[in-house]
Amino acid sequence: MKKIIVSTLLFVISLLAILSYRAATLYHDLQVEPAAGITEIGIDEESALQHFSDALNIPTISHDDRSNFDAEAFTDFHAFLQTAYPLTHQNASLSVVNDYSLVYHLRGADPSLEPVLFMSHMDVVPVEDITADEWTYPAFDGVVADGTIWGRGTLDVKFGVISLMEAMELLLSENARPQRDIYFAFGHDEEVGGSDGAAKIAEYFADQGIRFDFVLDEGGAVTEGLINTVERPVAVVGVSEKGYVNIALTVEAPGGHSSAPPDQTGLGILSRAIVRVEDNPFPAHLAHINQNFEFIGAHTSFVTRLFMGNQWLFSPLIKKMLLAEPGTAASLRTTTAATMVSGSPKANILPTRAKAIINFRILTGETVETVKQRVVELVDDERVLVSAEYGNNPSETSPVDTRGFGLIAATIRGMDEDIVVAPYMLQGGTDAKYFYAVSDNVYRFLMFRATAKTLKYAHGIDEQVPVADYLQAIRFYYHLIRQSMAA
């Protein structure tokens, strides 16, 4: 008996020792040194705010129905940029791609250096008529009040377009002389998928054989209180994004009057298929969470590291915890969301055609085709036709041991050393996905503070950005562009 107790005790002690050793040694501090020379810069705040406000006045709305496209709003926006940023227009060449997207090119002294591309998009989502009254200030008035800039597009993402242009204009006013070529690209239809804007811009570059040292688009932000294992602010920089596909399930049936129905109508067959797909979620993987944790791990508690550092033992538990929350579950797997269904147009007529749409957000490692194949197998019913209606594969994952990622991280930390920088995978889509054809190093980050509160403003009522964040974004781009220009 005594022997058993002793050996159990020894086992527990050595297990604890292994767990603790891994927790203590596995996660090194991967934070880069803050960039040197990040100083205050001479922003003319009044003029910078006026420009942002003017940009918000122009309703560059993307509609799902592309026939509602408002060409004049976009040409007005182009004209506004021309007036507001004269030095950029004198020094950089401007190309209009597919009529409404813009590419600025500032030439560097050394053509042997690969250029750097900064991206944003000019379009915004619409304001629904029924919510227009709920806005504190009208959505397109560009009001600046109480230290805040209000309006549709403040956050997503005229914030990026205008901050970039302000930074460039300031650099040129100081006679900055680039060694390396710098490009800006602003798409005009990101909010409806980017196929007319960003996709065409990427082709425009590919046709000329241009490859970029790195590309920076919107995506990540400086999160505060969103990653609950770290007390310090965490700047998440997107290195990949999920794919997207709408899978249609369709059942054709004879129809007829509902007074003499078969055992199962087309809608009944369809419903069973939906339930089978929903009951079998995609497998969960910790790869993306782990990549992120490599960078934040050293700044988490010992207990967190004890679990994350010993996945040989705890991965089922970690997965269970993360899957319990839809927000984190989406980082672990391809998500399944049945969103649309249609049957008969009348209560007493059997449907001749029943159709459902299931929207999947695809994790890296899977494709539109593998998702469709899995649905076919799960449904396992020849009466149900499975087809992919609209979709794109997940992006590749950009490396983090590059000059570009290092520059971005060092500049973020140069703004505030307290910030921890970490890569992550976006759950949504951005224009950046098109640019893997012209660069291996595609990143997504905006210098703004994201909290649970600010995130709900994007695409929402009372979209807004603090003036302080806007000025900080100009500083960030100023310093990042300045360093990117250097050899």
Q: What residues act catalytically?
A: 123, 190
Write down the least CB distance from residue 162 to Zn ion, Å.
14
8 Å CB contact between 475 and 43:
yes
By beta-carbon proximity to Zn ion, the closer residue of 404 and 429 is: 429
Write down the least CB distance from residue 246 to Zn ion, Å.
20
Write down the least CB distance from residue 208 to Zn ion, Å.
26
Task: Map the footprint of Zn ion across residues 61-100, applying CB under 5 A.
Answer: none
By beta-carbon proximity to Zn ion, the closer residue of 156 and 196 is: 156
3-state secondary structure string across 191-217: HHCCCCCHHHHHHHHHHCCCCCCEEEE
Task: Map the footprint of Zn ion across residues 146-175, applying CB under 5 A.
Answer: 156-157
By beta-carbon proximity to Zn ion, the closer residue of 153 and 351 is: 153
Instruction: List the one residue out of 174, 121, 144, 358 whose CA is nearest residue 250.
Output: 358
Instruction: List the one residue out of 166, 218, 229, 231 whose CA is nearest residue 458.
Output: 218
Q: What is the C-alpha separation between 464 and 151, in angstroms, rounded?
A: 6
Angstrom distances, CA of residue 6 to CA of 13, 15, 20:
10, 14, 21
Q: How many residues bind Zn ion (CB under 5 A)?
A: 2
By beta-carbon proximity to Zn ion, the closer residue of 157 and 481 is: 157
By beta-carbon proximity to Zn ion, the closer residue of 271 and 454 is: 454
**Cα angle 67, 73, 75; round to 5:** 105
Write down the least CB distance from residue 74 to Zn ion, Å.
16
Write down the least CB distance from residue 56 to Zn ion, Å.
15
Length of the chain: 487
Bridge partner residues of 106 (DSSP): 182
Write down the least CB distance from residue 300 to Zn ion, Å.
30
By beta-carbon proximity to Zn ion, the closer residue of 221 and 419 is: 221
Q: What is the C-alpha separation between 105 and 474, in angstroms, rounded?
A: 19
3-state secondary structure string across 30-50: CCCCCCCCCCCCCCCHHHHHH
Instruction: List the one residue out of 144, 166, 176, 170 whose CA is nearest residue 81.
Output: 166
Q: Which residues of 215-245 are buried (b: 16+ CB within 10 A; e: fewer)?
A: bbbbbbbbbbebbebbeebbbbbbbbbbbbb
Distance of CA 114 to the CA centre of its chain: 25
Write down the least CB distance from residue 100 to Zn ion, Å.
16
Q: Where are the beta strands (DSSP E) in 26-115?
A: 93-97, 101-106
Q: Report helix angle 159-173 to 467-485, nearest 10.
A: 50
Question: What 3-state DSSP class applies to 127?
Answer: coil
By beta-carbon proximity to Zn ion, the closer residue of 238 and 414 is: 238
What does the binding site for Zn ion look like in residue numbers (CB under 5 A)? 156-157
